[in-house]
Structures are given as C-alpha cells and as structure tokens.
Amino acid sequence: MDSALAPANVDSVPLALNGATHAPSQTDSVLKNESVSENRGEAVKTNLLGLNRKAMEEYFRSIGEKPFRASQLLQWIHQRGTDDFAAMTNLSKSMRGYLTEHCEIRPPEIAHVQYASDGVIKWVLQVDATNRIETVFIPEEGRGTLCISSQVGCALNCSFCSTAQQGFNRNLSVAEIIGQLWVAQRELGRERRVTNVVLMGMGEPLLNFNNVVDATDLMMDDFSYCLSKRRVTLSTSGVVPALDRLGEVSDVSLAVSLHAPDDGLRNELVPINRKYPIKELLDACKRYIGTEGRRKVTIEYVLLEGINDSPAQARALGKLLANVPSKVNLIPFNPFPNSRYRCSSPETIAHFSEIVQKAGIITTTRKTRGVDIDAACGQLVGKVNDRSKRHFRLQAIE
C-alpha cells in the first residue's frame, strides 16, 4: 500500500445518530423553541423556512390555528420564494400581523458568488458568524442540478476530499439545508430551475440524520418543491445503521461513496469502512432498495492514479457488484491544495470503465464541471471553524 495514504482514526468519528453533535429535527423541536433565531436586543422568532409539513402543522396547532395553514405557508415560502408575510394575501390581516411579529423566513446569507466558464455557479453562504458553506448549481441541457451541503465541514476524514481537510464544526439546521435550495431558486429566477438535488456537498448527510430527512421531505412535498424521489439523491460514505433507519422513513435515491473494491484499500481512503466494511454496506444498500427492480444504487468511484485504477481493481469492482442492483459513476479526481493524489489519465479511466461495463454494470464517467472556481466534486471547502482540530494537525504534518 502507498505509504502516502495516512489512515485516519475512525474511532474518533461521532457516529451516534442522536448524540450531542446532532441537532434534533425541527419536527421534534418546533414546540420547544429550538427552530428559532435570536438577534441581540430583539424578540426570539421562529424561522418557518426550516419547518416541513408536519412541523408546520404542529406550529399552527400550537397557536390555535387550523393545520391547513401549513400548506398555504409552504406554497408562499418554497414555491413563490416569499419572505414577506405581508405579501401572503390569502392569509387574514391579523394572521399576517401575528406571523410578522413572531416568525421569520431567514435563509443563509450569500457571502459571495462565483461563475465558472462552463456555466456552473457556486454560492458561498454565511451560516453564522464564523462558518460558511458552499452550494453549487450545475446546468445541463434540460435539467439543473443543485449540489447542497449538510454539515459545516465533515465529521469523516476521507483522504481524497478537500472538505474533509477543513475539519468539522457542526451540523446544518433544516433551514440552512433547505435554505440553499431556496436561495438558489431565488437567484436563478424563472428562466432557470433546479430540477435535481444531490446531497453531495460538504458533510456526511447521514450524520445529520433528522435535519436531512426533514429537508428532503420539503424538497419532495407537493406544496414545496415537488421533486420526485428519483430527483433527490443522498450520497453517503456508509453509515450503515443510519442507512437502515433511512429506509424506514424515506425513499430518496441513494448514492454510495465506495472508491475501492476491497476493505484493505477502502479502510485508508474512507476510514469509516473500518467500522462498517464493504459487505455490511452493500447488504444495507440492498435492504434500502428492497425488491423494487427498477431502483439502483449509484456507486461513486473517484479514480486516483496508481491507487485504485488498475484493470485488476476494475474486475474486482465488477465482481463485487454482481449481485447489487447498481450503476457505477466514475469520477475523475479533482485536485486541491496540498493533495497527495493525481487524477488517472483519460485512457486509464476509459479502460477501467470498459472492464466494469463488460461485467454487466451500467457505467458512466462524470464530466468535470466548475473546476476553474473550485466547484468540482471533492473541492468544496467553505469556511470551517474546526472543532475537531483536524485542519491544524494536517498543517503541522505539511
């Protein structure tokens, strides 16, 4: 094994689904004032942007209103992009006054925007005084994909990902997750729309379980963004207990960051594999998609020169996935400062793809987009006030 692959300490990864590092869902907390914001010197207000249908209905019941108000508010906030209660003309004047006094619609603030030569847009969003996240819009013919973040930094430590090198600060709230979609829709206007959402930005979505589920509920709600389950994709490095739990409450499309055909290599590239090895992960994938024959798990595989891109590894990958309803998405590695890896050559990528396809598995190669503004896969960094101190340890090593 390449000695440059420094293993991370997976035992330090916070894996408890409801532990101290994981904020309760807005559905559970709306009546406990945990979905509120507070400005110094001003009254505490509930941020309605972060409430899914169930939480919104609970909120209106708590103030003595009919639950159907939830559908009205969801449409105003998410379909019309309104953040002014006074403009919600199908609500009574007294209701608009109450909401103005006690509530708000507050998305993350845009710190700055970058535009790539290929049409990709990256928003850097301020989520609190010291932390920023990044959100990327990728336009294509007939579709527009938004790549959103679920954490400030990442609690995991995949060695080929720039986000991981920034360390970890906290989970994003529901409002901060769905707020990325809200901001993008507002900024894009009516001529360009988000048709697909991928949770492939900063963070491990399944380590922010409740808030991610509530946010994806909003994405698929008929009174919010009306996205089908096939157009909302959650990408995970393989938190197996959370993946099983996800199958009980959601049916979003699933992508898995595999990146190696065997445990020995994956233990070093994706350290969480030491806790949940490949067989456990793929078994969980099969449980998630169940018996619905048309559904497939997307297997993500970043190609690293001389590390995981040999013909033998391609054959091993094909054999590994023989009984898993899946398709493979090969991802050319995108460099970032102080990275120890290089991207496989186009010829190597093409040959790898050919071998996997001959094994009977649909295989595509992701086109690199937004690389001139560091918006490509694995390049998102934001600004992380690192509580894990990983960033400083890496600096010391360098």
Residues carrying an active site annotation: 134, 377
Reduced to 3 states, what is the DSSP secondary structure of residue 25?
coil
Residue type, 274: R
Determine phi and psi for 268, rounding to 5 degrees: -90, -35
- Is residue 271 within 8 A of residue 13, CB to CB? The reply is yes
Q: Are 85 and 77 in contact (CB under 8 A)?
A: no
Q: List CB contacts of 190: < 8 A, sequence separation 6 or more.
A: none
Helices (H), 338-384: 346-358
Q: DSSP 3-state assignment of 54?
A: helix
Residue 204 and residue 236 in contact, taking contact as beta carbons nearer than 8 Å:
yes
Burial class (CB in 10 A: 0-12, 13-18, 19+), 3: exposed
Task: Give the residue among 356, 354, 338 at the shortest CA–CA distance from 346.
Answer: 354
The span from the CA of 265 to the CA of 308, in Å, is 8
Cα 162 to Cα 185: distance, rounded to the nearest angstrom: 27
DSSP-derived secondary structure for 178-215: HHHHHHHHHHHTTTS---EEEE-SSS-GGGGHHHHHHH
In the numeric block, the tokens 């689904």 are attached to 17
DSSP-derived secondary structure letter, 335: -
Strands 103-104 and 297-303: unpaired
Bridge partners of 329, per DSSP, are 300, 364
Looking at this protein, which amino acid is placed at residue 3? S
Both tokens assigned to 88: 């919600």
Report the length, in residues, of the chain: 398
Q: Which amino acid is at 83?
A: D
Side chain identity, residue 249? V
Phi, psi for residue 305 in degrees, rounded to 5: -55, 125
